[in-house]
C-alpha cells in the first residue's frame, strides 16, 4: 500500500485537470471518453426529476449549538470552490429503500464494547446540533447548515475504543460504500451522525436514516446511509479513495486527488 502520509506537503494545493486525473488512474480509455465520470460521480445528481432544495438557514448564537470553526473564518470558501444556495440531491448508484425500524448500526473493531444499535436505540442517545458549511469535491460550497444528531464522541464513549486505534472506517452496506478517516478528524467536536438538517428530518436522497457529517473534509467523507463504524489501527481506503481521491480530503489544502 502506498504511503498514507496525510501531512505530506507534496499534495497540498496540487491541482491537476480532470483529464490528467483520469489518464493517470487508467480511466481515460479514448480521447473522446467521458473524462469527468469519476469526478462528477462523487457528488452528482442521479435523481432525474427531483428538485434541489434551497435554504437560507441562519442560526442565532446559542449555547446549544456547536459552531464548526470553519464558519468563523473571514473567507469561508476554500480554493477552487464556488458558493451555491441550493443543496443538490447527490448520490452514486440507485437510491436504497430503507425502513427505519429495520435499520441497524454496527460498531466494531478495536473497541471494548461492540454494539449493534437499532434506530430507536441510536436516536435515544444524547443529541447535539452543529452549524457548519459543506464543501463538495466537484467544486460547490453550501454555507450555513444546521445539523442534528449523535456526536461522534458519544459513539467513541459508548464503544470504549482501544488505545491503538488510529483510523475509523465508516460504511454503508446499502451500496458497499465506505470512507476512511483519521481518528483525530473523527473526534472533532463538530462531527456527528445526523438525522436532521435545518430542523427537518433527513430524506433518503440526503442520507436518511443516518448520515455522517465531517464538516472539515470534502463531503464524500460524510457517508450517507451509514450502517457500520469500524475502529482500526490500520488505514484502509474507501470507495472513492481506491479510485484516486485523496486519503484525507481537506478542502483548505485542495486535497481532491492523490
Q: Residue 22 is inside which H or E element, if any?
A: helix 18-24
CATH number at residue 36: 3.90.420.10
Print pLDDT tens along the chain (258 aa).
333 444 433 333 333 333 343 344 333 333 322 223 344 444 543 333 333 444 444 555 677 999 999 999 999 999 999 999 998 776 667 788 999 999 999 999 999 999 999 999 999 999 999 999 999 999 999 999 999 999 999 999 999 999 999 999 999 999 889 999 999 999 999 999 999 999 999 999 999 999 999 999 999 999 999 999 999 999 999 999 999 999 999 999 999 998
pLDDT in tens, 185-239: 999 999 999 999 999 999 999 999 999 999 999 999 999 999 999 999 999 999 9
User: Which pLDDT belongs to residue 2?
Assistant: 34
Tell whether 113 is covered by a domain: yes
User: Which pLDDT belongs to residue 122?
Assistant: 98
Tell whether 12 is covered by a domain: no
Tell whether 39 is covered by a domain: yes
Tell whether 103 is covered by a domain: yes
Tell whether 198 is covered by a domain: yes
The pTM is what? 0.80
Query: How far lies 216's CA from each of 9, 181, 212, 234, in Å?
Result: 18, 11, 12, 22
Let me know if 84 is exposed, middle or buried by CB neighbors in 10 A (0-12, 13-18, 19+): middle
Distance (Å, whole) CA 56 – CA 235:
38
Let me know if 64 is exposed, middle or buried by CB neighbors in 10 A (0-12, 13-18, 19+): exposed
Distance (Å, whole) CA 24 – CA 32:
16
Domain boundaries, position 65: 18-253
How many domains is the chain partitioned into structurally? 1
Tell whether 13 is covered by a domain: no
Tell whether 258 is covered by a domain: no
Cell output for 4: 498514507
Using an 8 Å Cβ cutoff, are 157 and 94 in contact?
Answer: no
User: Which pLDDT belongs to residue 155?
Assistant: 98
Q: Which residues pair with 138 in a beta bridge?
A: none
Distance (Å, whole) CA 18 – CA 12:
17
Amino acid at each position: 500500500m502506498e504511503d498514507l502520509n496525510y501531512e505530506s506537503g507534496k499534495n497540498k494545493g496540487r491541482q491537476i485537470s480532470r483529464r490528467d486525473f483520469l489518464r493517470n488512474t487508467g480511466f481515460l480509455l479514448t480521447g473522446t471518453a467521458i473524462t469527468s465520470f469519476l469526478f462528477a460521480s462523487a457528488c452528482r445528481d442521479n435523481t432525474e426529476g427531483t428538485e434541489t432544495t434551497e435554504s437560507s438557514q441562519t442560526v442565532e448564537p446559542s449555547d446549544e449549538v456547536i459552531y464548526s470553526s470553519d464558519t468563523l473564518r473571514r473567507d469561508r470558501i476554500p480554493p477552487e470552490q464556488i458558493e451555491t444556495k441550493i443543496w443538490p440531491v447527490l448520490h452514486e448508484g440507485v437510491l436504497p429503500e430503507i425502513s427505519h425500524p429495520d435499520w441497524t448500526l454496527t460498531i466494531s473493531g478495536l473497541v471494548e464494547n461492540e454494539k449493534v444499535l437499532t434506530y430507536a436505540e441510536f436516536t435515544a442517545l444524547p443529541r447535539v446540533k452543529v452549524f457548519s458549511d459543506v464543501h463538495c469535491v466537484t467544486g460547490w460550497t453550501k454555507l450555513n447548515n444546521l445539523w442534528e444528531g449523535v456526536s461522534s464522541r458519544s459513539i467513541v464513549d459508548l464503544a470504549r475504543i482501544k488505545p491503538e486505534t488510529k483510523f475509523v472506517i465508516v460504511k454503508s452496506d446499502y451500496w458497499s460504500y465506505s470512507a476512511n478517516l483519521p481518528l483525530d478528524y473523527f473526534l472533532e467536536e463538530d462531527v456527528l451522525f445526523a438525522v436532521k438538517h435545518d430542523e427537518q428530518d433527513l430524506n433518503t436522497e440526503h442520507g436518511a436514516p443516518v448520515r455522517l457529517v465531517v464538516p472539515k473534509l470534502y463531503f464524500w467523507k460524510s457517508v450517507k446511509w451509514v450502517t457500520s463504524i469500524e475502529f482500526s489501527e490500520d488505514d484502509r481506503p474507501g470507495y472513492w479513495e481506491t479510485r484516486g481521491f485523496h486519503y484525507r480530503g481537506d478542502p483548505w489544502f485542495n486535497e481532491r486527488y492523490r
